[in-house]
Chain A
Amino acid sequence: MTAPAPPPTKMDVPVKRLLVTLATAGAVAGFLIVFVFGWTQPIIQAYKAEQLRLAVQEVLKAPDRFDTLYVHDGALTAELPAGVDGTTLEQVFVGYREDGERIGFAVAAGEPGFQDIVRLIFGYDRASGTVLGMKVLESKETPGLGDKIEKDSAFVLQFDGAVTPLLGVKPRDATGDLHEIDMITGATISSRVVIRIINNTIERLGPLLDAYAASYAAATVP
């Protein structure tokens, strides 16, 4: 393994002892790590689930409950066949009001931004084609300029109720159309990335959402 070959002049330590030392150290290390893993993992998982729940709550405007759907075999499904690991699949969240009425879908997506990948989650009502809300999950955009896509509430709130496909405009060219999003001065590229992610994701998943909505309607209204 990583052990440097013992110098030929110094063979007083038998190979067996070297192996035993490494194996013991490895076993003790493994035991300790598994112990800490068992302690921390539930906390970490709970935190991640809570963060996800908060993000979905925010972009779907506080649904009473939401379900997780998986993109599997070109369709959305709530129940995966046995043996398929859901954590590796793309997920779509669907939010409902208390009376069972569907509010909309929440989708997380990412694309290259100005510096690195920008990841965001947005809520979307397929029937009316409106965005319900947008939240940036992860970005490395320039502090003070590009990070306004995350921190400038005026920019973020524009997405509530905007109609897709979205169109980025400079503030002075704005006409008040519902498709329009005013881009941030000095961060045009970052603003466009947000708009592009939403448009591309809807284009990509739109047919799947339609198919799911149709089968859902067929299942609930006999």
Chain B
Amino acid sequence: MGEVFWILVSAMVVNNFTLYYFLGLCPFMGVSARVETAVRMGMANIFVMTMASLCAWFLNTFILPHAPYLRLISFIVVIASFVQIVEMVIKKVSPKLFRQLGIYLPLITTNCAILGLALFQTNRGYGLIQGLSFAVGAGLGLTLALVLMASIRETGELSDVPSIAKGMALVLIIAGSLSLAFMGFAGLLSAT
């Protein structure tokens, strides 16, 4: 149980996917202007990551031991199609939920955070429970980073920024500061 908890918190804050591994930067830069969109994007990410983790576990356990060289291709194809199928099911079952998350799903199915999750999970040899905990932790971490970024950008919108720093340069420097702050979480779980 302790290991599962460690994986969750480690993926969420200590080794935050966005701020430590630079995964999922496209939504981080693109969809972080408003807190509300950031929250929804984060939720969609948690959802897709959980699905991806399930797919990766299934492939790693049942199929890839026989054909290790097809890992990358099969991850991409299976995750993308599985998410698309689940998307259709949600659309049918709960149109309300689909309206909340739907528009983000196609954006993130082949995002580097999703594939990165599947690859990291494989490299570390996680089982089903560990993988799911890793996925939820990583998704929560991504949401946290997105929401923090969006709040800072919303607050900073009215401030007088030099013209050369407007746009991406400022976003990157804010992200650098956030990443620096998150480094303070290192050692959180290993102090004895």
Q: Do A and B come from one complex?
A: yes
- Write the residues of chain A forming the contact surface with B, with a CB cutoff of 8 angstroms: 1-2, 29-30, 33-34, 37, 112-117, 142, 189, 192-193, 196
Say yes or no: A2-B70 contact (C-beta < 8 A), given A112-B190, A115-B14, A193-B190.
no
Asked if A189 and B15 sit within 8 Å, CB to CB, the answer is no
- B6, B81, B186, B192: the one contacting A115 at CB < 8 Å is B186
> Is the beta-carbon distance between B190 and A189 smaller than 8 angstroms?
yes
Question: 27 A-B contacts, Cβ less than 8 Å apart?
Answer: A1-B77, A2-B77, A2-B84, A29-B73, A30-B70, A33-B69, A33-B70, A34-B69, A37-B69, A112-B6, A112-B10, A112-B190, A113-B190, A114-B186, A114-B187, A114-B190, A115-B14, A115-B15, A115-B186, A115-B187, A116-B10, A116-B14, A142-B186, A189-B187, A189-B191, A192-B192, A193-B190
Separation of A31 and B59 alpha carbons in the complex (Å): 20
B15 touches A2 (CB 8 A): no
Residues of B within 8 A of A196 (CB): 192
Taking beta carbons and an 8 Å cutoff, which residues of B are in contact with A? 6, 10, 14-15, 69-70, 73, 77, 80-81, 84, 124, 186-187, 189-192
- Residues of B within 8 Å of A2, CB to CB, are 77, 80-81, 84
In the complex, chain A residues whose CB is within 8 Å of the CB of B10: 112, 116
Q: Is the interface of B mostly helix, strand, loop or mixed?
A: helix
Q: Which residue of B lies closest to A33 (CB)?
A: B69
> What is the bound-complex CA distance between A189 and B191, given in angstroms?
6
Would you give the shortest CB distance from A13 to chain B, in whole angstroms? 20
Minimum CB–CB distance from B191 to chain A (whole Å) comes to 6
Chain B positions within 8 Å of A193 at CB level: 190
Please determine whether A1 and B81 come into contact, CB atoms closer than 8 angstroms: yes
Tell me the nearest residue of chain A to B84, going by C-beta. A2
Q: Which residues of chain B are within 8 angstroms of A115 by Cβ–Cβ distance?
A: 14-15, 186-187
Q: How far is the CB of B9 from chain A (nearest CB, A)?
A: 10
A1 to B124, CA, bound (A): 28
Contact residues in B for A117 (Cβ distance below 8 Å)? 124
Most A C-beta atoms less than 10 A away, residue of B73, B186, B191: B186
Bound form: Cα–Cα A112–B185 in Å: 14
Chain A residues with CB under 8 A of B192: 189, 192, 196
Bound CA span A19–B37, Å? 37
